[in-house]
A and B are shown apart, each in its own frame.
Chain A
């Protein structure tokens, strides 16, 4: 009876147009599912037995990617309720806790995932170093990984401003003070004034869209946090994963 229903469903043109393989309960279909599913296609069909050893990779790269996806999902939810306007932003965040169903849960998940991603990307880098997995031919993928690490930190930092509370405002004020001290480019940095850098044309001004953290800064950080940086990170991630498949795994994988 069940087999009949299953055959009826899997035999339809619609089902066959979506799934190019049968249920993966035999080796042929288990291989096919890897070829024909774009997400599973990130994997090879077979891996060495050692790849199942969790104590080699600790799943850190995969988890970092998972946290990124989780951040995208919870982030989209938060975007529905958040307006990057200095007069509204703080109250919008407050509303998440008092008015929006599960608003607090999504915000808390977003925050913890962000912490987890920063930590897991560091640990992933440490693991890759300790197993020497950056050695030829994987040098370039290490470089891409370092860029992704920096992007993760900037992503997290730009999100820090959005609640527009004291914590956010002053953390970003401190951070942008650092930008001001950049050699050559910052108005308070070595050789900055000599090159004509002032508070109204240096790199801090570029970052904040003004001379202090205000509406322009909030909008810039919002756009970078929700659109610009995730897009750039996604491109680098695509390269990162593709290179793993092309270069092969270094370890017992």
Chain B
């Protein structure tokens, strides 16, 4: 009876089977029937997951605070935990970057991954040595994402100040008067530059220090794009021009996030680049 039943799935499967056997990756004696061998693993994992969820539901019920009211703002106001990494970025970036542009870049960056990774190795098995750059790059972004979430969930209390688990979370942290300063002001004072505008585009009066910050900002990308091109030519050759530029743009932007965080924490820099329309 099995011979008479032919579904589209069956045919495709047979074709795939033949192709794969030809490649030597799959032979009939290596295979087992999905029913019961795989189906029961699925059943057990489902039952296990259900048991865990039931347990959690009983020991840790969903919270319900007071009725929503626009006149009482809780302190701190926290987003759901999975967005707390982005909310933590608000300490270092303006909302248009932390809330919109960076998340959009994460999504687009993830989407293009399969199209910018020409490395044929490491398909279908865990390996680090055969694809070091992509594994490191991805893990770096992942670590950044999770660390920021952990900070947002467990280390941010009243006024979004830093609280240790052993701190008293009901008392406001004494606000140490950290004076944040824009990088262009820092440069202006450091190099004794004139605060008068050099060039003016409508609302935008560029001082010479402001031009220096543009040079530094674009220079970060320019140098970042150039170094692998000069010293790791095989990396560039493997990727080709378009893939290389995409990879480097997203990679450098990703590295720029902790870099800006460092500048803010170490040098109290508020913005590295200031224009009348946007600040970075």
Contacts and interface: CB of A to CB of B under 8 A. Distances in A.
Interface of A: 20, 24, 27-28, 30-36, 40-41, 43-52, 54, 59, 62-63, 66-67, 70, 86, 90, 93-94, 97, 104-105, 107-113, 115-116, 118, 125-126, 129-136, 138-139, 142-143, 146, 149-150, 153, 156-157, 160, 163-171, 173-175, 177-183, 186, 188-191, 194, 212-213, 245-246, 248-252
A32 B1 contact: yes
B191 to A, nearest CB: 28
Contact of B45 (A63, A104, A169): A63
Chain A to chain B: the 3 pairs with minimum beta-carbon distance, closest first: A178-B99, A108-B57, A169-B68
B96 A47 contact: no
Main secondary structure of the interface of A (DSSP, over half): helix
A164 B94 CA distance: 28
Output the residue of A125, A165, A249 with the most chain B CB within 10 A.
A165
A249 to B, nearest CB: 8
B105 interface: no
Interface of B: 1-2, 5, 7, 9-10, 12-13, 16, 20, 26, 28, 30-39, 41-42, 45-46, 49-50, 53-54, 56-58, 60-70, 72-74, 77-83, 86-87, 94-96, 98-101, 107, 110-111, 113-115, 117, 119-127, 131, 135, 138, 142, 277-278
Contact of A43 (B34, B56, B78): B34
Nearest to B42: A62
A32 B11 CA distance: 14
A226 B123 CA distance: 38
Contact of B62 (A66, A108, A133, A149): A108
Nearest to A175: B79
A111 B2 contact: no
Nearest to B75: A170
A250 B20 CA distance: 12
Given A109-B53, A170-B73, A171-B79, A44 B67 contact: no
Contact of B124 (A30, A47, A252): A252
Given A27-B33, A51-B38, A67-B49, A164 B67 contact: yes
A150 B107 contact: yes
B124 A178 contact: no
A32 B126 contact: no
Contacts of A167: 63-65, 74
A51 B7 CA distance: 23
A129 B113 CA distance: 9
A178 B67 contact: no
A109 B54 contact: yes
Given A43-B38, A183-B96, A166 B31 contact: no
Contacts of B54: 109
A49 B131 CA distance: 26
Contacts of A28: 1-2
B113 A109 contact: no
17 contacts: A35-B5, A108-B57, A112-B53, A131-B126, A135-B122, A150-B107, A153-B83, A156-B80, A164-B67, A165-B64, A166-B67, A169-B68, A178-B100, A182-B100, A189-B96, A245-B12, A252-B124
